[in-house]
Amino acid sequence: MWEWAGNRSKNISITGFMKLTFIQTGGTIDKDYPKTKGGYAFEISEPAVGRILEKLNPSFEYEILSVLRKDSLDITEEDRKKILESCKKVKTDKLIITHGTDTMLDTAGVLNEIKDKTIIITGAMRPERFSNSDAPINIGLAIGAINVLEKGIFIAMHGRILRWDKCKRDTKSGQFIEQ
């Protein structure tokens, strides 16, 4: 159902520490632009969240699962069902999904049937591999917020945490805003 995204699990033996599950679905946050002959070809690479967490030295246990490696415009309804089933299957009740920004609200709508977990969907406007990427800020925002949020589905982008059903994407700025 999913692919383990490498040895990126950190085990903390101190009681009371939370465990997060990060789920990769692709999107700009994970894009890499390898050198090719002509064109603007990109590929979805290893989960960006792994590189971000290496710099953080987190005080929580985590796992990273790669469910999809697609641009969000290429995610199908079948793919969204796969994401849904993956979220249901993991044992943790705190999940952060990295996703492309174009269709993250569509995926959030499918995940809304999950009532017993806190799920934050985040991404980036620029790939994590770019020096001016917003990816580390968005991942940090999601990690901080998941500690205090109630159960539900949220979007973490542009310095804000918004309930998925109370926000929209502004067509001019590309930002997620309250509706």
The secondary structure of 78-117 as a DSSP string is HHHHHHHHHHHHSS-SEEEEE--TTSHHHHHHHHTT--SS
pLDDT of residue 64 exceeding 50? yes
Question: Is residue 115 included in any domain, yes or no?
Answer: yes
Average pLDDT, the chain: 88
Q: List pLDDT tens digits, range 142-151.
A: 999 999 999 9
User: What per-residue confidence (pLDDT) applies to 36?
Assistant: 63
How many domains is the chain partitioned into structurally? 1
Q: List pLDDT tens digits, range 72-109.
A: 999 999 999 999 999 999 999 999 999 999 999 999 99
pLDDT of residue 35 exceeding 80? no
User: Taking the CA atoms of the chain, what radius of gyration do you get in angstroms?
Assistant: 15
Tell me how far apart the alpha carbons of residues 144 and 128 are, in angstroms, rounded to a whole number. Answer: 19
Q: What is the CATH number of the domain that holds 165?
A: 3.40.50.1170
Q: Residue 28 is part of which domain span?
A: 3-33+47-178
Question: Is residue 41 included in any domain, yes or no?
Answer: no
Question: Is residue 39 included in any domain, yes or no?
Answer: no
Out of 67-71, 96-100, 154-158, least confident range: 67-71
User: What per-residue confidence (pLDDT) applies to 10?
Assistant: 45
User: What per-residue confidence (pLDDT) applies to 176?
Assistant: 95
Q: Contact at 8 Å (CB) between 53 and 62?
A: yes
User: What per-residue confidence (pLDDT) applies to 32?
Assistant: 83
Tell me how far apart the alpha carbons of residues 126 and 97 are, in angstroms, rounded to a whole number. Answer: 17
User: What per-residue confidence (pLDDT) applies to 17?
Assistant: 67
Q: What percent of the chain has pLDDT over 70?
A: 86
Region at 143 (left for phi over 0; alpha for psi -120 to 50; beta for the rest):
alpha
